[in-house]
Amino acid sequence: MSEATLFPPIGMLAELTHRCPLQCPYCSNPVELLKGNRELDTQTWAQLFRQAADLGVLQVHLSGGEPTVRRDLEELVDGLAMRGVYSNLITAGVNITEDRIRALAEAGLDHVQLSIQGARPATTALISHMHSAYEQKLDTARRVRAAGLPLTINAPIHRHNIEEVPEFIELALSLGAERLEIANVQYSGWALVNRDALMPSREAVEKQMEIVAAAQERLRGIMNIDFVTPDYFATYPKPCMGGWARDAFMVAPDGTVLPCHAAQTIRTLTFERFGERTLREIWTDSPGFNAFRGTDWMQEPCRSCDRREIDWGGCRCQAMAIAGDAAATDPACIKSPIHARMGMLVADAQAAAKTDKGTEFIYRRIAQVREPV
């Protein structure tokens, strides 16, 4: 991509920590989680946010792990508010007091996105590995609304809760959410480790799509429902983060600046940490960021495809994981020469569902777990 076509980023995902009281097996965090002693300190995060604002970032999503385990969260929110940057807290919604939510609102927090693992208490307990999580999440949702903050409910969908989609819709309505995200699990990080235990059937996915489409029409103007298509059942891929390093980026807890969650799984690329270079230098000149910008890097059939500036080649990390080549056509695309492999992986997961491999989770923990082959 030439300098003339390089635009400033408008969005940033800040993973403040990998620490989390939940152990969800679908987590997109890397399998090698970073301990608290490797996290950026308050002043470094504040400096990074100032540079992000100078660079053009308009919204910052504060995530983790669980970002509320950071005692400096209010200070970081206040710094963003002082620069007029929109802040969205992405939280698991447990162990958060009413006073903490009120303090975050007073600091200038703009929005809360609350993840709920199941529309039923038992499902949430199974996925989160925390017995009281469901009740705590509902309490948090009510406190968020009482504090006057807009609320999004995030429902990560997989085999064990896909039948609960209608209940998720009614739950989000009852909690006063302005938005519901039906987010089919994307298989990276811990979700890739647990793919066979998480993958739903094609029939369940198709039924889910019909339910969501009907609800979107029924609730138009009442609650916005966003649907994240599951890649393994797609015809065409999604643009990863809007396109590799096109208008957004993320920062890991140790300050490593990345084009997307799973970018470090592409072992041929290196990524730089904030502090070693400025954010502007990394965004503009980093070899890792420039590796898949624009369309010049594309192979066929992507290079001559009329969708090349719609999906921007899809997910490079998925291409790496399934095709073994980060520059290959995303296997989610029907034009990929190995698109059929996606269907084979779905079939393998359905076969595994009848065995221990398909029914037992490897829960997310601060420890190293071997990646699947």
Burial group, residue 369, by CB count within 10 angstroms (0-12, 13-18, 19+): middle
Place of tokens 């693992």: 117
The structure tokens 């569902």 sit at 353
CA atoms within 13 A on the CB side of 336: 28
> DSSP H helical segments within the chain, as ranges?
42-55, 73-82, 98-107, 121-128, 133-146, 165-174, 190-193, 195-198, 202-218, 279-285, 287-290, 316-318, 340-352
Q: Identity (one letter) of the amino acid at 247?
A: D
Q: Is 20 annotated as a binding residue?
A: yes
**Contacts for 40 with CB less than 8 Å, ≥ 6 apart:** 48, 253, 254, 255, 274
Q: Residue 136: CB partners within 8 Å, gap ≥ 6?
A: 93, 94, 95, 96
Q: Please state whether beta strands 179-184 and 257-258 pair in parallel, antiparallel, or not at all (unpaired).
A: unpaired
Q: Was 333 annotated as part of a binding site? A: no
101: tokens are 């939510």
Do 247 and 11 touch, CB atoms closer than 8 A?
Answer: yes
> Does 317 show up as a binding residue in the annotation?
no
Where is the binding site for [4Fe-4S] cluster, in residues? Answer: 20, 24, 27
Where is the binding site, in residues? Answer: 20, 24, 27
